[in-house]
Each structure stands twice: as C-alpha cells, then as structure tokens.
A and B are shown apart, each in its own frame.
Chain A
Amino acid sequence: MYRKILLALFVSIFLASSVFAKDAGVIKVGVAGPMTGPQAKMGMDFRNGVVLAVEEWNAQGGVLGKKIELIIGDDQADPKQAVSIANKFVNQEVSGVIGHFNSSCSIPASDIYNRAGIPMITPASTNPQLTERGYRGIFRVCGRDDQQGKVAAQFVVSKLKIKKVAVIHDKTTYGQGLADEFKKFIGTNAQVVHYGGIIQGDKDFKTVLTVIKNKQPELIFFGGIYPEGGLLVKQAREIGLKTPFMSGDGVIDPKFIEIAGSGNAEGTYLTFSPDPKNVPTAKSFIEKYQKKYGEIGPYSVYAYDATNILLTAMKNAGRADSKAIIEKLHSGEFIGAFGKIKFDQKGDVTAAPYVVWITKGGKFVEYWKP
C-alpha cells in the first residue's frame, strides 16, 4: 500500500514538473491586489478588468506570437504580503506587473520590481511617493493624491465657500497622504479646526466625532477607505453632526452608501476620475465587462487600460525584454478607454482628470469639474 502511494507521489511530482517546464512558450504578466480580505471587492473589480484585456489579446493571437499567461497574486492589502508577492513574481520571471491596488502595498513592492528591472503599472495607487523616487519602471494610469487633494480643496474653497474644515485620516499611506494634500491646498483659505487620525478597522468613531462636533466645522474631509468612511458618516449623523462630508476615491464603493445608510450618505462629496459612462471611448469596454461580470468597479477601466498599455509597449518593443518595454512605455502615446495616455518622466500620466462626485438617491453621480 505504502509503495503504491509513494509511486503515485513520484509520478505526480514528475507530471507537475513537466507542467512547469512547458512555460517557455508564454509571456507571463503578474496581477497583484487584495483578492481576499476586507478590500477583496476592489481587488476583484480590477482583476476582472485585467482578465478581460488579456482575453482580448489572446483571442487575437497573444503578443509577439505568444499567449499571455496571467499570474494572480493576492496581497490582501497587506504590505508584507505585497512584498512576498513581488518576490514571487520576480522569481517567476514575469514580463510586467499590473498592480498593486493600495499605495501602502505598491510602494514597498515597487522597490523589488525596480531592483529586478520589471515594469509595474498600478491602476489605483494614488500616493505621490510611489513615483517620486526616481524608479524608471514604475508607472500609474490613475491620478495622484496631490492632484486629488487639490481638486477637493478647490471645490471646498471656491464652490462651497467654506471657512472651517475638520480633517480626519486613517493613518495609512493613502489616507493620510490624501488628507495632508487636502490640508496643504486649503492653506490659508479656510481654517483647519481639527486634524487627526483614526484606526483602520475600528468601528466606533463617536469619540472623535464628538470632539469634532464641538469645534463646529462646516465640512469634514476624510482620507481613507469606505468601511471607515461609511461608519463616520453614519455615526456623525447619529450624534447630530450634520456637516457636509467629503472624501477621496477610496470611498467610491456601493458599500459606502450601504454602511452609512442611504439617507445619511445623501449629499456626501468625493473626488474621483470622470464617470466612464460619460466617456464615449469607454463604452465598448463597459458593455463587455457588464456582460461578463456585472456592474463595473471604480478601477476596472484603469486596470483594463494599464494592461493594454503594458501589452502595447511589449508589442512596440518587439521582445519581452523589460528594459525595452520600459523605454517604450516612456516614449509611447497610448489610447485607453479614457482617451490618450502619455507618461511623464516620473511615470505619472501627464493629464490626470479629477472631478467631484456627489451621492444622490443612493448612487454616485458626477457633480463638479474644476
């Protein structure tokens, strides 16, 4: 009996290793983001966008005459996991990486990709730091928090004409970064009556909201993700704090409204890129996505664009050589679902559009353009 099991084991090891050996005929692309954990929905939305793009390329024969194979890495929104995924990708010799989602994951992971010379394009990490360190192979197709914070501050100062704001953040690279940029651009145009952090994963924010209520701000700005954002809005209304609420792209998720309660969420502002549904070039992508996966997520379009850009650069380079791909990414001009995309020296998009959205009737709608 034992011998049979042992034999089966050996046979299966050989079979498995022959599968690994066959990899030479494909081009590997890594996708990394929070595929499980509290932010899994965001991760899956963006993974689906990548899968769709790769399927389209593979249907047309792949790139450089080879099929594209996706390797999906789950960083669970945890920087430590992100680093181990990055190392795994390097060992598996991927030709490029789409990801990560969270800035706190993208930044440490980009150190590893940079050292290995692998190009990385993030569809969602907006922290300025990511592209400020002179890494040539690190790109993003979304905007930056300083651009986002600026638009939010412009809106608050010139449209709402507000004089007193309270700023809260969740102490993460993304949340605090956004809050800091907002505060910086508010400058002397309005008074910041409260500035402080909360703990990500905490559920009770009544204490900090009670403090804020006492300082009577005219607007609360929150840098963070939707679970805390939703709870903040809900609990603010519970303690009778009816001040307008504004946040960044981290709260653009239907769960935000569900958690806050649709009545409470009504009229909250957030900054995000323009609605892809209003962009004619994105129409065919949205239709395809909806047919396959249902409603598109906020970053699905970016993920799709990032993948297409990486593969186009690979095609332009004529070989799956990282260095050549990075050069093509810097020099080329790409057509994405959102229109033309070109990268600057740092790897940021030259034109990052941010607009203000509002929650209306339980839905997010575009509201104000700077």
Chain B
Amino acid sequence: MFFQQILNGITVGGVYALIALGYTMVYGILELINFAHGEIYMIGAYLGIIFIGIFTAIGLTEQSPLLAVLLSLTLSVIFCSAYGFAVEKLAYRPLRNAPKLSPLISAIGVSIFLQNYVMLSQGATDKVFPQLFETKGIEFLNLTITVLQIFIIVVSLLLMELLHLYVMKTRTGKAMRAVAQDKTMASLLGINIDWIISITFIIGSGLAAVAGFMVAMYYGLVNYSIGYIAGIKAFAAAVLGGIGSIPGAMLGGFILGIVESLAAGYLSSEYKDAYAFIILIIILLIKPRGLLGKSSGDRA
C-alpha cells in the first residue's frame, strides 16, 4: 500500500509541479505572485473539454482518440498561452513601475474576473470530460496504475526536462535568467525585457494548460472553481521548493503530492487539504527560503 500511495502522490505531484513552474518563473522575473495562474489552469481544463467536444462532433474522436486528445491539448496550450500573454499585457504591464502591492492586487482582480467569466459563460454546473481511454488499472508488482496516470507522469517529467533545457541552453533562456538577475543590466545589454516577460507568461500558462487538460481527462470532472485550490497548492509547492527556482518548483510539487497522499492514507483523509500547508509551514520554519531557494541577495 505504501508504494501505491507514493504512486498516487507522484501523479498528483506532477500536476502541482507543472502549475508551480508558472508561479516560480513569473516570480523569478517580476517578483510578482501571479494569483491568476490557477485560473489559467482551470481555463486549460475547460478548453480541453470544449475542443474534445468539437472533435467529437466532427467525428475525429471516434476515428482516433489519441489524435483528438493531442490536438485538443495543443489547442488548449495555444489558447491558454494567449490568455497568459493578454493577462500580463493588460493587467500587469501598466503597473510595472507601480509599488509592488499594486500588481498583486491586480492579480487577485484578474483571478476573480476569470473565475466569474468562466462561470457565466460555461455555467456553474460540473462539466464532464468524455471517457476516451480504458480506465481499468494495469496491475504489476501489487501496484495498480492507469494509462492516464502513466500519461500524466511521463508528460509532466518530459515538459519539466524540456523547460530546464530551454532555460539553460537557449539564447532566450539565457536572456530570461539575465532578466531575473538584473532587469536594468539586461536591458542595457540589449535584451528586450517586455518580450522576455511575455515569453515567461506564455510558457507558464502553456504548462498550466497542460496540467489543466490532464486533470480534466484524469478525473473527468471540471468546474469553474477548481483553479483556486489547485493554484493555492501549487503556490505552496513553489514556495516549498524555493520560489524563483525552477528545479525547486518541480521538487516542491512532487514532495507536496507524495506527502499529501501518504498523510491522507495513513493519518486521516478528512484533512487532506491541510497537510500541504502543514508541510509548508514546517519547511519555512527550518529553511525560510525554501528547499532550493538561494540564500544570498534579494533576487532568486
């Protein structure tokens, strides 16, 4: 049972980690906690249901479910990236030089707006994601795992590795790191700061869309309020790993998922949501900057 719980935890943790990356990247560059990020994840889940619906209507889902899923996933990522881009441009960029609290308040406003926008346009009832794949678990070594669980774990690990390579190896990645270190210096060296910030939001929102899409497919149930608790937990994961640090967000996500799973399994499932924050408090007491947060200077 112990390993089964770990496996359950890794699946959930992968999703937390994908969302946490968006928080941490934005914080690393702007020192802004983007509270609207959880809503982008929720919109990703809704877009998934909408696109799958369209593909089912034109008959593609029946012919090739995998192709329909991959196409819907790609489309949700594109649309969510556009949402992320627009949110930054409309709600944060005008406040770039305002006191730090202003963009934060703006972020909370965007979050409330997006939640109600989805509620009003899509209705308040739960939406069901159609079951496309076999849901019976595969058994091995006394463990049960479903196709979708494997899909979630593989996709989240793959995306994290790709993001890591992107930030470490490409020119844009290097520019992102430069902007995170010192905006003024980076712009003096000819880096287009606005563009780098936009790219950060686009990538972060894309990852959130993938997380939302996978969650919608895995649980099969979506409503307009799922972004709140997922966002808060992913934020906890980002802080746990050291906000601003990309490997930290991944580590934080997995730790959170596993701890939650084990605690709910061995202690009590009634307080499942509380464990995430208990572990966060403990880590912050011991390591105030999070597990992989840099301890020197003001910047992450």
- Residues on A facing B (Cβ under 8 Å): 36-38, 40-41, 171, 196-199, 201-208, 210-211, 214, 227, 230-231, 234, 237-240, 255, 258-259, 261, 264
Contacts and interface: CB of A to CB of B under 8 A. Distances in A.
Interface string B261-277: 10011001110110000
A38 B124 contact: yes
Given A38-B223, A238-B144, A207 B125 contact: no
B175 to A, nearest CB: 38
Contact of B269 (A211, A227, A231, A237): A211
Contacts of A214: 1
Given A196-B269, A198-B269, A208-B264, 20 more contacts: A38-B124, A38-B225, A40-B125, A41-B125, A197-B268, A199-B269, A201-B229, A206-B8, A207-B8, A207-B265, A207-B272, A208-B265, A210-B1, A210-B5, A231-B221, A234-B135, A238-B136, A238-B146, A259-B221, A264-B135
Interface of B: 1, 4-5, 8-9, 12, 123-126, 128, 131, 135-137, 139, 144, 146, 215, 219-221, 223, 225-226, 229, 260-261, 264-265, 268-270, 272-273
Given A38-B223, A204-B219, A198 B270 contact: yes
A343 B223 CA distance: 39
Contacts of A206: 8, 261
A202 B273 contact: yes
Contact of A230 (B123, B136, B221, B260): B221
Contact of A208 (B9, B125, B269): B269
A237 B219 contact: no
B126 A227 contact: yes
30 contacts: A38-B124, A40-B125, A41-B125, A196-B270, A197-B269, A198-B272, A199-B273, A201-B225, A201-B229, A202-B273, A203-B215, A203-B219, A206-B261, A207-B8, A207-B9, A207-B264, A208-B269, A210-B8, A211-B265, A227-B221, A231-B220, A237-B135, A238-B135, A238-B136, A239-B4, A240-B136, A240-B139, A258-B128, A259-B126, A261-B135
* Pairs of residues from A and B, 7 with the lowest C-beta to C-beta distance, nearest first: A197-B270, A208-B269, A207-B264, A203-B219, A206-B8, A207-B265, A239-B144
B1 A259 contact: no
